[in-house]
Structure 1
Amino acid sequence: MTLPMPEAEGIDPRPLHARIAADLRDEIMSGDLAAGAKLPSTARLKTRFDASNATIQKAVQLLKDEGLAIGRAGAAVTVRDNRQRTVRPARSLDSATTAGAPFPWLLEVTEGRSAARSSLLAVGEVQVTGDVAQALGLPQGDSAVCRRQLISIDGEPAELVTSYYPLDIASGTALAEEQRIKGGTPSLLTALGVPPRRSVDRVSARVATQEQYTALRLPGELPVLRTLRTVYGPDDRPVEVTVMIKAGHLYELEYEFSAE
């Protein structure tokens, strides 16, 4: 049993099928509709939402387009298994155990059941502005080495990752070369004398930019999760700043805190 919500002020201006999809999406992502479970029948959804058959079908089609539900016309529609992935940022500083091995955080995201691949899109010097420059402790417009990657899971684009490094750390190193870094950047930063000590995340939900929308092949007007991660080395100096863009309906972030 759920508690009644207070009467809302104003109205939701979205089309009815989008509102229905939003309610069902929340139930899927929160586990109220478990993986493998059948969606309520069209008849039940029509009664629940006081909607027509066509409106219910449009709502369900949105969930199919997003990959949250599967099924064909005339058959039961079920919640797709293992669709939403949990990311534990605390593992971001872990290095691969052996050269060439998948990074532990990436294995965790795929839960060992999916094939994950990182594609290096571009490497070069760029001018940094806004919160990236601020996080790096650089004046607006100063240069940094930038590495941009696209993470794909089972061949599907899942995350855009753009990392920035101070020039005095990265210039002339593998960070500035168009090649993958064996063992990951935590291992390389350690070898360069600036081992990562701690990481601070700032997470926000945003409307996808045009580039993000196309790169991640987003199915509709869904938000993305933007994580601005600052990695600090010795003397609490910023040694890496990374912007990560994930499809908001496919991921959740898990943080653990102690009472100490």
Structure 2
Amino acid sequence: MAFFFGLATGARGAFAAEIARLGVTSSASTVISRERPPERVAQILGIHHAAKSLVRARVMRTDATVVQVATSYFPGDVAFDTQLEQQDTGDGGSKSRLAELGYQQTRIRESVDVRPPSKEEAEALGVSADRLVYEITHVGLTESGKAVEVCVHVMPITLWSLSYEWPIDQPAV
């Protein structure tokens, strides 16, 4: 399975779009809450470490297999009392809702680490704690550089192949 951040028409987010592109059925369960994010996430979002953010914690499946757990964090001043707090964020998912709110993501920054899963992650993913997982920290940035979303994806390395593509700036001739 390749990890790709493209949105297909009618998709509810990047995961659903990519899984549909692969011809597989996807589903996700989402728990939505307002809570303090981990300290490193608060730092990326530029919020006080004790401030609450909107959290969308998802368990994502293809057919009946859990293929990743992903937790998105949004600054409260951006996301509270919006459609982002609903189970169904609508066509285009959170990125489209953020754009409608005036926070269009124009850049993303990702870091990828390989590590053992936590006990909770291993249970959710149905893997043993001695297996390795990818942890992808995805940061959505506006034109002004404001981080409006941090999503931490955790997925077994045995199920995923990561593939990225981006344009190369052409040197002046």
- Scaled by the length of structure 2, the TM-score of the pair is 0.88
Corresponding residue for 2:3?
A: 87
Cα root mean square deviation, aligned: 1.8
Deviations 1:99-153 (A, max 9, x none): xx45455343454332111211x11111123321121112222211111111100
Q: Which of 129, 134, 149 is the equivalent residue of 2:38?
A: 129
Q: Which 4+ stretches in 1 moved above 6 angstroms?
A: none
- For residues 182-197 of structure 1, the aligned pairs below 5 Å read 182-183=90-91, 184-197=93-106
- Give the strand-richer structure, 1 or 2: 2
Q: Distance in 2 between matches of 1:104 and 1:215?
A: 21
Corresponding residue for 1:150?
A: 59
- Structure scoring higher RCO (CA < 8 A, sep ≥ 6) equals 2
The count of aligned residue pairs is 168
Q: Which of 80, 85, 105 is the equivalent residue of 1:176?
A: 85
Long gaps (5+) in structure 1: 1-84
Q: Secondary structure at the match of 2:18?
A: helix
Long gaps (5+) in structure 2: none
Corresponding residue for 2:151?
A: 242
Q: Secondary structure at the match of 1:226?
A: strand
Percent identical among aligned pairs is: 24
Q: Distance in 1 between matches of 2:85 and 2:23?
A: 32
The one-letter code matched in structure 2 to 1:247 is P
- Scaled by the length of structure 1, the TM-score of the pair is 0.60
CA contact (8 A) 1:129 1:141 kept: no
- Give the helix-richer structure, 1 or 2: 1
